């Protein structure tokens, strides 16, 4: 993937760019808002990573200008702010995702991957499959190797979310947002607990693990 990083901080910018390159992406780094705007409109990027506070042109105005000009490239906003309204302001300006500093690189990488493939979401499907696991979204039925599995509503949502994003890592905070509808991290092990319950129902009785733990990042179902 071709990614543009617009970040003025001399440590964070290069670190993010280097990390993305290590993951096999092409990453360009610019350090001010005006340059970022020029670069984002000039070249064809798959994802933009934009710091909110930038010299010459701040991140919010930058993204508003881009959206106004019809540039639809998915964008993640990085910010040191995390006030009550800041997140919503960022999303309203046209950002697709929002990440508060300090963040772990794994979190950013997972969100970049999620954004890049967003249009590919299989929203229309009514039956999701992974190996011999089948989830019927209409009848709310889960079976594996033809055997029916009883899931609680939250476990069902968690499984559905992971299946819809097969092959992509979902971090704790992404799961909290999607499954529990919470946009802050309550610092509990609720995600881990639910993953473990889900495994005990979906994986353990069948002797093979569909739900993988990605160290330092999150969880995924291989696809």
Residue the block writes with tokens 């979204």: 137
Instruction: Give the nearer residue to another protein in terms of CB position, either 38 or 88.
Output: 88
Q: How far is the CB of 186 from another protein (least distance, A)?
A: 5
Phi-psi region of 207 (alpha: psi -120 to 50; beta: other; left: phi over 0): left
Q: How far is the CB of 173 from another protein (least distance, A)?
A: 12
Dist. CA 169–CA 111, nearest whole Å: 9
Q: Which residues partner with 189 through β-bridges?
A: none
Backbone angles phi, psi at 192, to 5 degrees: -60, -45
How, if at all, do strands 211-214 and 218-221 pair? antiparallel
Distances (CA, A) of 218 to 59, 98, 172, 175, 197: 28, 18, 6, 9, 16
Which residues sit at the interface with another protein, rule CB under 8 A?
A: 9, 11-12, 15, 53, 80-85, 88, 101-105, 154, 180-184, 186-190, 192-193
Residue the block writes with tokens 């001010």: 32
Q: How far is the CB of 101 from another protein (least distance, A)?
A: 4
Q: How far is the CB of 77 from another protein (least distance, A)?
A: 14
Length of the chain: 223
Tokens representing residue 49 in the block: 């990573």
Q: How far is the CB of 150 from another protein (least distance, A)?
A: 18
């Amino acid at each position: 993937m071709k990614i543009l990083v617009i970040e003025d901080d001399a440590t964070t910018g290069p670190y993010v760019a280097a990390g993305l390159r290590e993951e096999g992406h092409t990453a360009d780094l610019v350090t001010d808002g005006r340059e970022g705007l020029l670069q984002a409109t000039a070249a064809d990027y798959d994802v933009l990573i934009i710091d909110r506070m930038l010299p010459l042109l701040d991140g919010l105005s930058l993204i508003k200008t881009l959206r106004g000009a019809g540039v639809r490239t998915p964008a993640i906003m990085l910010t040191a702010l995390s006030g009550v309204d800041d997140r919503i302001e960022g999303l309203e300006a046209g950002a697709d995702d929002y990440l508060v500093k300090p963040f772990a690189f794994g979190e950013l990488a997972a969100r970049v991957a999620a954004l890049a493939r967003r249009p590919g979401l299989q929203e229309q499907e009514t039956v999701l499959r992974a190996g011999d696991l089948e989830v019927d979204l209409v009848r709310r039925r889960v079976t594996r190797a033809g055997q029916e599995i009883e899931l609680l509503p939250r476990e069902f949502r968690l499984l559905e979310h992971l299946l819809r994003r097969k092959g992509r890592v979902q971090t704790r905070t992404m799961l909290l947002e999607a499954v529990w509808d919470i946009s802050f991290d309550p610092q509990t092990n609720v995600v881990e607990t639910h993953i473990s319950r889900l495994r005990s129902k979906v994986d353990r009785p069948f002797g093979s693990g569909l739900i993988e733990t990605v160290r330092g990042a999150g969880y995924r179902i291989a696809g």
